[in-house]
Each structure stands twice: as structure tokens, then as C-alpha cells.
Amino acid sequence: MMLSSSENQMPGSMSDFINDIKAVIWLGDFVTFEGKGPAITNTYLSPDLSSMILKNVCDDQTLAVGKEEYKNIIEDRLNINCLYRRDTKELMWGLRFQIRHFLPVENSEMTNDDCFPMSEGMIFFLNSHKFDINPHMMVTTRIIQMVGTVYECDRCVDKFDPFLRLYTEKLMKISGIRTCDWDLLKLATALKMICEPEDEIPDARQLFTKQELQRLMEDAPRYKCKISKDNCLIAYIKKCTLPTK
């Protein structure tokens, strides 16, 4: 039985468990129960498990559990508030996906080839991207990581796109460059070149025409005090350092 801790609030989506799991949740306690039967059912709560829960859960805390019957018996026998709902199911899915990082090495036999059920977060996300999926299909660690990467790209776009698009008019007015068909990476890279023209960007020649590159470099001084350098550089760094595994 594993008790885990999270800071401030419960992780809210499958992407919280993909890349930097230790920043979201960590092991609180781990106990192996050697009895023949389960340590908890809808009618039974073992003394050892009761002690473990009481030792780790403070009076003002709420315990997230993986089944409705666990919630009922723990609240009844131990008088501890428990939580079981849709986002709790997402939490339990994430713990199963990352369980090899919590269990003692000698007890963990899971590999990257192990299959997992799709979480509700994955189903919702893939449906929003028009993927034709079977919600009951099993997925591998690699597929989960790929979905997490696409999710992070979407989240980055949602966060920075409105801000960066504010500068499209300035690019047209100062340099005569139309950006209506540019993606966020190309726009962030152009602003990076304007903010720090002395820095070499290896992929710039693949993103821009020779004429665009020349205009961005020559006009860089004209953008002084007209754009927020710090915010543009933050957007560029975030956009260009997304996980690629």
C-alpha cells in the first residue's frame, strides 16, 4: 500500500504525470501487507492499514482514494474525510503510470513496454484533436509521453499566442513582414532575433527567407522600447524547450 503526497492541490491532468513527476507528487509511506486477504474491502479495513493511514493523514487533510468503497469504509471506521471523483481517478491513473518511480526497485518490474488503460484526460484530449480512438484501448508509456508532449505544446500556444500576436502589427509596420501564416515558433524566433540580434539561431535559415532574415537583422535597433524583450525571450525559451521524447 502506498500513500503519496502532493503540494497545495491534487494534480489535475494526465500531463502532470508525464515529465517531471517528482515536482508534483512524492512518496509519503510504503508498506507491504503479507496477509492472505486484501487489506481493505468494502466491509473490512485491516488494523495495519488503519495505523498507516492515521499516521500519515492529519486532521485537516483529505485522503484521495481509488475506489468509492474505500472512501466509505475509511470515513466510517477512521472518521477521515476522503475524496473520490473524476479528478481522483485521473490521479490514481497517474500513480499507476509512474509507480515504478515510487516503489522500491526490488519490487518494481514494470518497463516502458507495459500497457496502461487510457485516462479520461487522454480520451478528452485526443478527441479534441479529432483522433478516432477506442476509449477502452491500452497504450504504452511511449504513446503516453507523446500525448503529453503534444499537450504541452497546446498549453504553450494557449499561454503565449495572444501575447506574441500583439507584435505582428509592429513587424508589418517596421519591417514590412507579413506574419498571418506564421506559427508560434516562427513568430517567437523572429522576436528573439530582434531582441538579441548578436545571438546565432541555427534553425533561422530554415524558418525564414533570406529577405526576412536580412530585414529582421537590419531593423532590430528600430524595435528598441517598442517590444517587451524579457517577455519575448521567455516565450521563445518556453516554446523551444518543450520535451521531445
Closest CA to 155 of 128, 190, 177, 186: 128
pLDDT at 195: 92
In Å, what is the CA distance from 28 to each residue of 66, 132, 217? 16, 39, 53
Cα dihedral across residues 38, 89, 118, 102: positive or negative? negative
The CA distance from 223 to 211, in Å, is 18
- Phi, psi for 12 (deg, rounded to 5): -105, -10
Tens of pLDDT along the chain (245 residues)? Answer: 555 555 545 455 566 666 556 556 777 888 888 777 888 999 999 999 999 999 999 888 899 998 999 999 999 999 999 999 888 888 888 888 777 777 765 455 555 556 788 888 888 888 888 888 888 888 888 888 888 888 877 877 788 888 888 899 999 999 999 998 888 888 989 999 999 988 888 778 888 999 999 999 999 999 988 888 888 888 888 766 554 44
| Rounded Cα distance, 70 and 60, in Å | 19
The closest alpha carbon to 133, from 120, 152, 145, 148, belongs to: 120
This prediction's pTM? 0.56
- Residue 190 to residue 177: CA distance in whole angstroms: 10
Angle at 53 between CA 49 and CA 57, to 5 degrees: 180
| Cell output for 209 | 527567407
Please give the pLDDT value at position 1: 52
Q: What are the structural domain ranges in the chain?
A: 2-108, 159-240
